[in-house]
Structure 1
Amino acid sequence: MLDPRPILYTLGALICMLAAGMILPLLVDVIAGNKDWEIFMLAMFLTLTIGGMLMLANQGTGDNLNLRQAFLLTSLTWAVLPAFAALPLAFSELNLSYTDAYFEAMSGLTTTGSTVISGLDNAPPGLLLWRALLQWFGGIGIIVMAVAVLPMLQVGGMQVFKAESFDTVEKILPRAGQISLSISGLYVAFTALCMLFYMIAGMSMFDALAHSMTTIATGGFSTSDGSIGHFDSFAIDMVTILFMIVGSIPFVLFLQILRGKPLAIWRDEQVRAFSKLTLFLCFSVTLWLVIWKDFSPEEAFRYGAFNIISILTGTGFASTDYSQWGGFSATLFFFVMFIGGCAGSTSCGIKIFRFQVLFKSMQSWVNHIVRPNGMFVPTYNKRPITHDVRSSVMAFMSLFFATFIVLALGVASTGVDWITAFSSAGTALANVGPGLGEQVGPAGNFSGLNDSAKWMMSFGMLIGRLELFSVLVLFSPTFWRG
């Protein structure tokens, strides 16, 4: 029988931490003289009360989780926290329905970046900061989950990143705590550095703070409906590109650099592949804009590189309406959104390493067909790729695209056109942000979708962020039978 008490205790602690995060936007609204500070006060009190009750009711139940408890806690955390994070949005002067507020909060915590809010330029500063904080919290949570939890749960080939000195699922929470301490400082430092660069490039302190949080989290929420394009600054675009890439690189590699291994990043196969792919895409889009769209080389690089990197990393910022570039760009951006950055970063999507495992496995199989008596063992970072890793990756990718088709058909059944349905499903499952077309493209938002589509997309964001198996395993009767 599954014991829910350790799960509820940990969930209560996380809810209390979310409540504490409401203090900052509350203070910002007080300073700005905005009455929404009262909403934050009530939401914080309600959230803290429920979180505290869960902790007190389950105190002393232990902090060690078995495999089933870890799966359930992971899914519950990312499903329940948006329900509380939505409260300030639902009762604010924006007059959002709870469906819209939950969609926005889920988009924030999963660092997706899709929004239903119009008029961001005139929105209360506390709410703008709250949206940025949600993505910032989600970013650090994703890193810890990807480094400490998913490898232990052997989700989608993530076991390839399992630390050799840490093999037992029962130690997930202590391990997560250790990793949090070391990575959080680095995460804060990168955020502060990004904020400083933004201010030097011309942003106000408030805009720099909000955008630094959403950039390093590769989230994409902005303080303006025009996103980064609102600032119309080459310097700001370049700062954004730099830190979108930083957020898409495994943070444990940055820690290794700080510990005296300066070549750790370049020695990692995943980072090398990500770097080569980024350069290739930037060069291709820039060249295409110069030849076919009559852009100057500087404009082509500025707008082409920015937007393709934003989509590749799953950040979702936009510096211009790239949907107006024609069918080629729309098709390219649609496929690129599924790739994502590196595992162990704040980036999203399928992840580079899974494509590497897939291609290496295919190469090994082709070599075996040509030379049946030969021994061909695919390797990753100079280590053999085991059969369970290969099977797990292939199962993940098959399930990913099957889920994408089902989700797209579900969104299409609500009455939207096929471009909107497929790009909405893709951007939700890959946690990218903007879709394609006039309605949900970089110049629009998701407010025009009906409530059914928004709930389906919220579920898509959840399972996409948690690597599918972490959530879908809960629908198996075998899981509940133990």
Structure 2
Amino acid sequence: MALVSNSSRPKANINFLQTLGVLGAFIFFLGFALLIPLVVDLIYSEGNYQAFLISAGIAFLAGGLLWYFFQTDQELRMREGFLIVSLTWLSLSLVGALPFVIAGVLPSFTDAVFETMSALTTTGSTILGGETSSGFSNPQIEEIPKSFLLWRSLAHWLGGMGIIVLSLAILPLLGIGGMQLFQAESPGPTADKLTPRVQETAKLLWGVYVAFTFAQFLLLWVHPAMDWFEAINHAFSTMATGGFSTKNASIEAFDSAYIDWVIIIFMFIAGVNFAMHFRLIRGDYKSFFANREIRFYTLVAMLGIFIVSGSLWLLDEYPILDALRYGAFQVLSILTTTGFGTDNYEVWNTVGAFFLFLLFFSGGCAGSTGGGIKMVRWMILIRNTGREIKQIMHPKAILPVRIGDQAISQNIQRTVLSFFILYIFIFALGAFIISLFGYDIMSSIGASIASIGNIGPGWGEFGPTDNFAHLPYLGKWVLILLMMVGRLEIFTVLILFSPAFWRQ
């Protein structure tokens, strides 16, 4: 039997023209988003409207031409779906960075892309308020025009639920093959379609998302410390689990227990699967409260609040109410990968700080706007470990891995284990690369996990009171890639580097 040589293997029949056409549709949509900060610029007479107008024009022109010339009626396949999603997040970050450079707010295009990718991936790491490796001094957050502050938070909000999911909800032209994009952008171990049509599912999820955002906006706006502009920015950032604030000191600048607790509640909400929120709103209380992942997520949150707040009270001698307030806020901020701050956790006692460090490797529920490893993956890993221990004691027994009454298939178990191994490997690789620039071990670890986990603040020189401006440009591009890999949950991006992806 003749063997087929590697050189003669058929190549994948990837429809690149279709990929460019759909990519153009998303870039075109970004043009509309860029017009929203333009309105804020006109309201406050800041004089930067031309930067957003030019950027929107570029998005309309480039996206429109790509869609016009390369649109197709062919159904999207999963292969094109992965390629489109990865290229979309990269392209939107490049185009979304244009206003910063055109207006001269940021002198470096790399810094502008870093800030935009951090926004769209809901990471929340910033280069504002620091000096770059080239000697440029980036402006403080309070010095940034309000239109650009809104653009950062709006990009958070769009990226939180997913620009692609939003597009599926409002653009019927992407109805065909939409599930391929939906799955590629949300490749977690559980899929929760509320309706048979992905377009209707996207609309329902976005309806819940908008409702919660509006509710938090109103609750923040009633407090005298926040005007409408600050309230809408922080509502966008909270529900997206992003973490960008209008203040350099983050939420600490408002010095309000009321604001802290409102944000704590909505951070917890944002860390829950939005499909389960929809079922709760529809009155399906049984499904919501019986959900094992939500129970586990709540347990981890309560345990974290108990340990961290207790350590602040007993070891750092905080008043008990302040210990509960600051402990609960920081635990939910890191657990949900939001990244807001009300206190400098790096100066806490070892017990509280160490437990908070462990939460950097957690994440919210699957189907939430949070990043990280996700609760359901940890549940499967823990159950699988328990099964292996029992299997050693009872080698002939058939012991399936279960979450509640549901048996987890071997395929899902392998996928979760592969994800976990890849996650730790890429995190370690990122930390190693950052250390090559001369940073200490905690700073390197902090920068890497903050990026791939989409958390925002890290440790050491990238801690909650610092920024990423001083990182060399090559290091910033490494973190930009880590943010995207983390937001798309690794496989969507890494599959593009597999030779099998490009073969038939």
TM-score (norm 2): 0.89
Match of 2:481 in 1: 459
Residue 76 of structure 2 corresponds to residue 76 of structure 1: no
Between 1:344-353 and 1:413-422, the stretch displaced more is: 413-422
Give the CA deviation at 1:159. 4.3
Match of 2:326 in 1: 303
Compute the RMSD of aligned alpha carbons: 2.0
Contact 1:160–1:389 (Cα < 8 Å) also in 2: no
Residue 380 of structure 2 corresponds to residue 357 of structure 1: yes
Residue 247 of structure 2 corresponds to residue 216 of structure 1: no
Residues 387-406 of structure 1: pairs in structure 2 closer than 5 A: 387-406=410-429
Residue 295 of structure 2 corresponds to residue 269 of structure 1: no
Residues 193-212 of structure 1: pairs in structure 2 closer than 5 A: 193-202=215-224, 203-212=226-235
Contact 2:189–2:416 (Cα < 8 Å) also in 1: no
Match of 2:434 in 1: 411
What is the identity, as a one-letter code, of the residue corresponding to 1:79?
L
Residues 73-222 of structure 1: pairs in structure 2 closer than 5 A: 73-118=84-129, 119-141=140-162, 144=165, 152=183, 158-161=188-191, 175=198, 177-202=199-224, 203-222=226-245
After superposition, what is the alpha-carbon deviation per residue over 1:186-240, rounded to whole angstroms, capped at 9, x for unaligned? Answer: 1111110010010123311000011000100000000010100110000000000
Match of 2:9 in 1: none
Match of 2:137 in 1: none
Contact 2:18–2:70 (Cα < 8 Å) also in 1: yes
After superposition, what is the alpha-carbon deviation per residue over 1:421-451, rounded to whole angstroms, capped at 9, x for unaligned? Answer: 11000100100000112x3111111111110
Distance 2:424 2:205 in 1: 32
Give the CA deviation at 1:16. 1.3
Report the 3-state secondary structure (helix = DSSP H, G, I; strand = E; otherwise coil) of the residue aligned with 2:162: helix
Distance 1:329 1:143 in 2: 38
Give the CA deviation at 1:382. 1.9
Report the 3-state secondary structure (helix = DSSP H, G, I; strand = E; otherwise coil) of the residue aligned with 2:222: helix
Distance 2:356 2:325 in 1: 16
Give the CA deviation at 1:179. 1.8
Residue 471 of structure 2 corresponds to residue 471 of structure 1: no
Give the CA deviation at 1:144. 4.1
Match of 1:442 in 2: 464
Match of 2:391 in 1: 368
Query: Which residue of the other structure, out of 359, 362, 371, is the alignment partner of 1:339?
Result: 362
Give the CA deviation at 1:310. 0.2
Match of 1:280 in 2: 303
Distance 1:186 1:28 in 2: 25
Give the CA deviation at 1:111. 0.2
Give the CA deviation at 1:466. 0.7
Give the CA deviation at 1:150. 8.2
Give the CA deviation at 1:465. 0.7
Distance 2:269 2:127 in 1: 28
Match of 1:234 in 2: 257
Give the CA deviation at 1:101. 0.3
Match of 1:225 in 2: 248
Number of residue pairs the alignment of both structures matches? 470
Distance 2:412 2:192 in 1: 11
Report the 3-state secondary structure (helix = DSSP H, G, I; strand = E; otherwise coil) of the residue aligned with 2:275: helix
Distance 1:121 1:247 in 2: 26
Give the CA deviation at 1:108. 0.3
Give the CA deviation at 1:388. 0.3
Give the CA deviation at 1:20. 0.2
Match of 2:451 in 1: 428
Match of 2:175 in 1: none
Gaps of 5+ in 2: 1-12, 130-139, 167-177
What is the identity, as a one-letter code, of the residue corresponding to 2:466?
G
What is the identity, as a one-letter code, of the residue corresponding to 2:297?
F
Indicate how the Cα distance of structure 1 residues 390 and 155 shifts in structure 2: closer, same or farther if over 3 A, else same: farther
Contact 1:155–1:392 (Cα < 8 Å) also in 2: no
After superposition, what is the alpha-carbon deviation per residue over 1:278-313, rounded to whole angstroms, capped at 9, x for unaligned? Answer: 001001111101111110101101111101110111
Between 1:84-93 and 1:337-346, the stretch displaced more is: 84-93
Contact 1:90–1:97 (Cα < 8 Å) also in 2: yes
Contact 1:108–1:219 (Cα < 8 Å) also in 2: yes
TM-score (norm 1): 0.93
Contact 2:165–2:182 (Cα < 8 Å) also in 1: no
Distance 1:335 1:382 in 2: 29
Identity over aligned pairs, percent: 34
